[in-house]
A and B are shown apart, each in its own frame.
Chain A
C-alpha cells in the first residue's frame, strides 16, 4: 500500500463529504472507486440538503457538500462557507411517485382519484425533492385536495421508508431510490423545476488534496457512468 501510494505521489487523506440523502446509494458505490483511483479515503454524512447546510454553517467539518439543489451551494459561497468557482452540477435528479401497494403507473390519475389515505413527501423546506413534489401537485391542481393526506419525512430516505413499510400508500421519492422496482411512476419533467444537484467545495476542504481529488473524481467518466446508471442525468 505504501509503495502504491508512493508511486502515485500522494499521501492518503480522508475527505469528509456531506451528501443529500437521495444520493446516498450512489456515493457508497463511488467510495471504493474513488479510493482505487486516487488513494484517498472518503467518509459521508447523509441528510436533507437543508439539514446539512445548517450543520455546515454551524461549523460541521464537511469539506464538500453534494446538495440536492442548486440553491444551497450558491448560498454557501454567499455565506462564506463555500469556495467561489468550485460549484458544478454533478447530477440532475428525477422525481418519481412510488407505491408498494397501489399501481401508480398512471400517477396523475391515481393522485386525482384520491383512493389513498396517505401520501408521503420529503420536507419541502429542506429537501428539494419535497419541493418538487409540491410543484408537481400544484401543477396538477391537486395540492389543496391532497394536503390533508400528506405526511412529511425529514429527508427523502425517510419518505421512502414510510412507503416501504406500508405506512404511506404513496410517496414522492427520487427515481434513483426506486430504480428497477415495481409501482413507480416517473413524474413528467414539465410538472416541476429540474432538480439540479450541485456540488460545492467548502472552506474546510480548501487546499486539501483529498477534497480536490473528490471534486474532480465526481466529474470523471468512471463516476459519471455510475451516476447515470443510478437514474440521474449528467449535464
Chain B
C-alpha cells in the first residue's frame, strides 16, 4: 500500500477545510450579524437562502458550480484575470464550492451566538460612549464566542467530509482536487479494500474525536449544542 496515496488527499483535505473555515469566519460574521439583528423584511428570505445547502442535494450545487465556474460563467471570467480558462478542476474552485456548501454551518451558529447576546450589553456599552466598532469588537465578539467555536468546528468538519460537490467539479486531480472522501470512493470502486479501510476508519475516528471535543468544549463554555 502506498502511503502517499492516503497522505496527499488527507493533506489536501486539511488545507481545504482550514482555508474554508477561515474564509467563512470572516465572511459569515457580517451575514450572521445582520440576520441576528436586522428588522428587515428580507431577513427571512436571506436566512432561507443561506440555509438552503442544508436541504439541497450536493448535486444541485455541483451542477450550478460546474456551469458557473466554467469558461462561459463568472468563474471563467475570474480565471481569465490570471490567464486561466476555468475555475473547475482547481483548488480555488473547491474553495468556492466549499464556501457555499458549508455556509449554513458557519452562519447558523454565529447568528445564534449574536442573537443570544440580547440588546442590553450593547446598549449599555453605547451609553458608556463605545463606538459601533468598539461595541462589536469588545462586547459582541467575546460574548458570541460559543457561536464562533461551534461554527468553526462544524464548518471544518463538514468540509473534511465533502464529497458530492467535489466529485462533480474536481476532475480528480491528485494533490489539487482529489480530497479524502473522493480518494476513498476511488479505492472502493477499484476493489482496493485495504486502502479503503484505512481511510474509512481514519475518518470514523476523526469524526468521533471532533464531536467528542465539541461536546466537551460546549459544556465548558456553555454553548447551545449544534
Interface residues of A (CB under 8 A from B): 48, 50-51, 53-54, 57, 101, 117-118, 120, 123, 125-126, 150-154, 161-162, 165-169
Contacts and interface: CB of A to CB of B under 8 A. Distances in A.
B66 interface: yes
A50 B71 CA distance: 31
B173 interface: yes
A125 B85 CA distance: 28
Contacts of A51: 189
12 contacts: A50-B189, A50-B190, A54-B189, A54-B191, A101-B71, A120-B171, A126-B190, A154-B167, A165-B70, A166-B86, A167-B70, A167-B71
A166 B70 contact: yes
A48 B189 contact: yes
A132 B159 CA distance: 35
Q: Main SS of chain B's interface residues?
A: loop
Nearest to A159: B171
A110 B70 CA distance: 22
A152 B176 CA distance: 12
A48 B190 CA distance: 11
Contacts of A168: 89, 171
A117 B84 contact: yes
A123 B89 contact: no
Contact of B85 (A48, A153, A154, A169): A169
Contact of B188 (A54, A123, A161, A169): A54
Nearest to A47: B189
A152 B173 contact: yes
B88 interface: yes
Interface string B73-110: 00010000000111011000000000000000000000
Contacts of B188: 54
**From A51, A120, A152, residue with most partner B Cβ within 10 Å:** A152
Contacts of B167: 154
Contacts of A167: 66, 69-71, 86, 88-89, 171
Contacts of A154: 167, 172
B67 interface: yes
Interface string B168-180: 0001110000000
A53 B173 CA distance: 24
